[in-house]
Amino acid sequence: MIISKDHELLVQTVREFSQKEIAPEAASRDESESFDRSLFPKMGSMGLLGITVDEAFGGSQMDAVAATLVMEEIGAVCASTALSYLAHSILAAHNLHINGSEAQKKKYLPKLCSGEWIGGMAMSEPEAGSDALGMATKAEKKGDRYILNGTKMWITNGPVGEFFLVYAKTGPKKRDISTFLIEKSFKGFSVGKKLHKLGMRASPTSELIFENCEVPVENLVGAEGESVSHMMRNLNIERVTIAGISNGCARAAHEYSTKYATERKQFGQALGHFQMIQKMIADNYTQYRASRALTLECAQYIDSGQDLGRNASACKLFAAEMATQVGLNAIQILGGYGYTKEYPVERFMRDAKLMEIGAGTNEVMRLVIARELLKEIDGQNAW
């Protein structure tokens, strides 16, 4: 897809920023599992944190294509930062912007768009991952408050966030799910243990714990029990933009390993002269280009209102598997050096693997795609 001049300018600006501000410490943040909070106000001042949010609330009022391109640029230098950025700008800010009331948007979006507050979204639970609607966290209305009880799991930005968009059950049926806006300071809210991960190590992940957590009724988003549709719609833009991070990891691994193949000599010639190395270089490039084209096409679908689950799932699935494979090929091209932490390709591969799990696993993506296609032919209820 040929992107617009505005999108090109955005890519150029974010690429320069990422190289200068995010890339230099990416490896050491990964090693020490540390999150660099100072990057957020910087991204805020560039208008990246509320990329899809109206200017009236401090955002940049851009589209899903723009958000996806930014994910790729940040993902190409530090996928951890890109993942935390995604949880903040898409899962929290974008979701609130689409579904929140004017008062809720006025209260929270300016803080999120500036980077004064860091946000996240909590859907998954210890016993409810792929089966997200099987969540057990409950909210009961008592006077002018809802009382939340339960535990959320795997929450990106959990240890560092001030604001979370949290899903909870408000009735006995599976689809009786409501959304609540939670501030870190609310009574009964606490952050559980930080999780130690294979990749995305500089993006902090933790449990969130609700023990009789008191939430003012005005922090309910939309109508009680009607969040399933916006939860699903938000998953679409999450899946397309996270595919942007996969594309960034793949591009970085491909570019690094191709350059290496021109420098490293064996048997008296550069590795790039060997046809089996050429095959990996050619495959990496082709797979990355195909993935980027599909991802941007699906982002365009979102922008034009043709927001189908199967499209978002297809690009997320393709990009995630592609990026892990490109990362593995890049390690192979570097040989033993690729297997060490002295070179960045192993980090790209470890980070890329997360995209095969987070925002819905590869298996769940295949289920969504197949079920939607089968339903179209054979009726809504059969699948």
Ligand X SMILES: Cc1cc2nc3c(=O)[nH]c(=O)nc-3n(C[C@H](O)[C@H](O)[C@H](O)COP(=O)(O)OP(=O)(O)OC[C@H]3O[C@@H](n4cnc5c(N)ncnc54)[C@H](O)[C@@H]3O)c2cc1C
> How far apart are CB 366 and ligand X at their closest, in Å?
8
Exposure b/e, 33-47, CB count within 10 A at least 16 = b = bebbeebbeebbebb
217 and 145 in contact (C-beta within 8 Å)? Answer: yes
Cβ atoms of residues 280 and 332 within 8 Å:
yes
* 224 annotated active-site: no
Tell me which of 238, 321, 346, 356 is the catalytic residue: 238
Report the C-alpha gap between 266 and 208 in whole angstroms: 52
Q: Is 231 in the site for ligand X (CB under 6 A)?
A: no
* Listed ranges 52-60, 118-126, 170-178, 214-222: which one lies at the site for ligand X (CB under 6 A): 118-126
- How many chain residues are in contact with ligand X, going by CB under 6 A? 23
Torsion angle in degrees (nearest 10) through CA of 344, 351, 243, 62:
-80
Q: State phi, psi for 214 to the nearest 5 degrees.
A: -95, 120
* 308 burial via Cβ count (<10 Å: 0-12, 13-18, 19+): middle
Considering only residues 86 through 105, tell me which ones interact with ligand X, judged by CB under 6 A. Answer: 87
Q: Is 357 in the site for ligand X (CB under 6 A)?
A: yes
Site for ligand X in 181-210 (CB under 6 A): 197, 200, 205
Non-local (6+) Cβ contacts of 192 within 8 A are: 151, 158, 206, 207, 208, 209
Q: Which residue of 84, 124, 137, 295 would you call a contact of ligand X, by CB under 6 A?
A: 124
**Which tokens go with 260?**
């290496």
Interface with ligand X, residue 123, by CB under 6 A: yes
Q: For residue 313, report the phi and psi dihedrals to the nearest 5 degrees.
A: -70, -35
Nearer to ligand X, 152 or 251 (CB): 152
Tell the smallest beta-carbon distance from residue 21 to ligand X (Å): 23
- The separation between CA 259 and the C-alpha centre of its own chain, rounded to angstroms, equals 29
219 scored as a contact of ligand X (CB under 6 A): no
Residue nearest to ligand X (CB): 129
Minimum gap (Å) between residue 153 Cβ and ligand X: 7
**Which of residues 107 and 194 has its CB atom nearest to ligand X in the complex?**
194
Q: C-beta of 67: minimal distance to ligand X in Å?
A: 16
Strand partners, 156: 205
| By CB under 6 A, residue 129 contacts ligand X | yes
User: Is the Cβ–Cβ distance between 151 and 207 less than 8 Å?
Assistant: yes
**Binding-site member from 53, 359, 368, 369 for ligand X (CB under 6 A):** 359
* Comparison of 229 and 286: residue with beta carbon closer to ligand X: 229
Binding flag, residue 364, ligand X (CB under 6 A): yes
- Minimum CB distance to ligand X smaller for 156 or for 179: 156
Distance CA 123, CA 137 (A): 9
Catalytic residues: 238
> Given the rule CB under 6 A, which residues bind ligand X?
87, 120-124, 129-130, 154-156, 197, 200, 205, 354, 357-361, 363-364, 367
